[in-house]
């Protein structure tokens, strides 16, 4: 049983637009956010409580943060800002362990940043001009590699693919989407494996979380889902197969599947979080789960699907209690 009797709340701690948000990969309640006030904040989703703040400064000045992520081990927070820097923060001490200069996109919109879910040291972000990629090995004091002009437009999202997907043949691969309307699958050394033409500027991409086509016997095909002016799903075997238009004229800014892959969440420019049920041949709209006063730039889901958190330009963070964990039990009590 869950002792919490609320479904959603808002936190207003930042003094600027909240541009990035990320859950800790191992602690199911801890998450962080980054905003244009130059601060990274730590929270507890269970208590809906602010815990700690880490300022990220360049030459003594706070710079706009445009993306945050935890590494896969959860002991470091990755931050990119408009000073073209990637900063690595130690979670326990709050110290800036590493700082890479002139390597990250300096736009004021949300930047593309991804941490490898398998390797704790591999990180990818969009390059200074937004069209290329910068690769990092956090054991090195300088960037590992630069991939120039991967897209003809600004790259808006990056994800790592499981090795079971057909294009990598056992290699680590990543998916990028950009304002040029293309979704590209590439290896870490820059070799292009596959291209999907989205026919619209793309802002986000999400892959269904299961091992590739492991649920085919139940009728479920593994998908890459693309977010732009609409939501479109792509199956490697059949191509683009459906389009969702509940967002109307508001562009989709971010989308993601729950950890078991049965629910798709999307957020858009009008500040609405929507839920869709995934069926073998389609996605079915369920409801609007949350409303912000301005654009939702980013969101994340806790490791066991208990909480969803949103980052908005209205300077608030939304915390949605989705229900009990997707395995085992959870109990909340107070001892007096």
Beta bridge partners of 64: none
Does 281 fall in a domain?
Answer: no
What is the model's pLDDT at position 107? 87
Does 333 fall in a domain?
Answer: no
What is the model's pLDDT at position 59? 63
Does 92 fall in a domain?
Answer: yes
Does 68 fall in a domain?
Answer: yes
Quickly list DSSP for 30-53.
EEEEEETTSEEEEEETTTTEEEEE
The answer for 74, left when phi > 0, alpha when psi is -120 to 50, beta otherwise, is: left
List the domain range (segments joined by +) for residue 87.
Answer: 9-149
Split into its structural domains, the chain has a count of 1
Q: Tell me phi and psi for residue 132, to 5 degrees.
A: -115, -170
Please tell me the distance from the alpha carbon of residue 215 to that of residue 107, in angstroms, as a whole number: 40
- Model pLDDT for residues 72-112, shown as the tens digit of each residue: 999 999 999 999 999 999 999 889 999 999 999 998 889 99
Does 79 fall in a domain?
Answer: yes
How far, in Å, are 59, 68, 295 from residue 300 at the CA level?
A: 31, 11, 15
Does 103 fall in a domain?
Answer: yes
Quickly list DSSP for 50-85.
EEEEEE-EETTEE--EEEEEE-TTSSEEEEEETTS-
Does 67 fall in a domain?
Answer: yes
Does 227 fall in a domain?
Answer: no
What DSSP character marks residue 191?
Answer: -
What is the model's pLDDT at position 1? 26
In the predicted model, residues of the chain with pLDDT beneath 70 are 1-6, 58-62, 327-336
Give the CATH number of the domain where residue 142 resides. 2.130.10.10
Question: What percentage of the chain reaches a pLDDT higher than 90?
Answer: 81
- Model pLDDT for residues 276-289, shown as the tens digit of each residue: 999 999 999 999 99
């Amino acid at each position: 049983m869950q002792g919490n009797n609320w479904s959603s709340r808002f936190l207003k701690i930042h003094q600027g637009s909240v541009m990035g948000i990320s859950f800790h990969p191992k602690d199911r309640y801890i998450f962080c956010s980054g905003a244009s006030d130059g601060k990274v904040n730590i929270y507890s989703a269970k208590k809906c409580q602010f815990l700690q703040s880490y300022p990220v400064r360049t030459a003594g000045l706070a710079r706009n943060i445009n993306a945050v992520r935890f590494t896969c081990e959860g002991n470091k927070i990755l931050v990119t800002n408009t000073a073209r820097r990637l900063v690595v923060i130690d979670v326990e001490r709050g110290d800036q362990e590493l700082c890479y200069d002139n390597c990250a996109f300096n736009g004021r919109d949300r930047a593309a940043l991804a941490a490898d879910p398998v390797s704790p040291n591999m990180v990818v972000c969009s390059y200074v001009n937004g069209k290329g990629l910068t690769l990092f090995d956090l054991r090195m004091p300088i960037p590992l590699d630069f991939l120039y002009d991967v897209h003809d437009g600004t790259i808006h999202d990056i994800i790592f693919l499981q090795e079971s997907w057909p294009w990598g043949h056992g290699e680590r691969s990543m998916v990028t989407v950009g304002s040029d309307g293309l979704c590209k699958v590439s290896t870490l050394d820059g070799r292009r494996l596959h291209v999907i033409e989205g026919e619209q500027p793309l802002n986000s991409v999400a892959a269904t979380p299961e091992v590739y086509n492991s649920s085919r016997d139940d009728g479920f095909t593994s998908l890459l889902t693309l977010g732009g002016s609409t939501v479109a799903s792509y199956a490697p075997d059949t191509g683009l197969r459906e389009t969702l238009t509940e967002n109307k004229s508001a562009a989709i800014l971010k989308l993601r599947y729950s950890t078991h892959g049965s629910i798709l969440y999307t957020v858009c420019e009008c500040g609405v979080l929507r839920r869709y049920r995934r069926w073998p041949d389609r996605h079915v709209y369920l409801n609007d789960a949350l409303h912000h006063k301005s654009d939702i730039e980013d969101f994340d889901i806790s490791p066991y699907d208990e909480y969803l958190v949103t980052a908005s330009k209205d300077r608030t963070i939304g915390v949605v209690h989705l229900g009990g964990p997707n395995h085992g039990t959870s109990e909340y009590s107070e001892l007096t």
